[in-house]
Amino acid sequence: MAVTITKDNLAEETATGMVLVDFWADWCAPCKMMDPVLEQLESTYGDRIKFGKLNVEHNQDLAMNYKVMSIPSLVLFRDGKAVEKVTGVYPKDKLAKYLDKKLATN
């Protein structure tokens, strides 16, 4: 299960390895569409990639820091540093190919 990310634990949770953080909100219908996709990906990649969820309503400062202007947005962290961001709804297969590519360059 994805870890809940807040300003209090972001640095710790993203410090090592690859972490995919989902920036979302309760009122966001596309975010809800991404939930089952991310859950399936976590079951496949959870041993190699940590998954996190950050509610932008409760963490607006973090959303601004990472230039999240639209949600859902996925920010990929590598060893504590945000390296890429993708925004919008993506099918599972497309995100799986993206993650495979990122793991191959790890």
With beta carbons less than 8 A apart as the criterion, state whether 74 and 86 touch. Answer: yes
Is 76 part of a structural domain of the chain?
yes
Range of the domain at 90: 3-101
**What is the structure's pLDDT at 105?**
85
Is residue 90 pLDDT above 90, yes or no?
yes
Strands in 3-4's sheet, in edge-to-edge order, are 3-4, 49-55, 18-24, 73-78, 81-87
Place of tokens 């299960």: 1
Is 106 part of a structural domain of the chain?
no
**What is the structure's pLDDT at 22?**
98
Active-site positions read: 28, 31
Tell me the per-residue pLDDT of 41-85, one tens digit each, with 9 for 90 and over: 999 999 999 999 999 999 999 999 999 999 999 999 999 999 999
Q: Which residues pair with 56 in a beta bridge?
A: none
Is 94 part of a structural domain of the chain?
yes
With beta carbons less than 8 A apart as the criterion, state whether 84 and 75 touch. Answer: yes
DSSP letter for each residue of 82-99: EEEEEES---HHHHHHHH
Global model pTM greater than 0.85: yes
Is 69 part of a structural domain of the chain?
yes
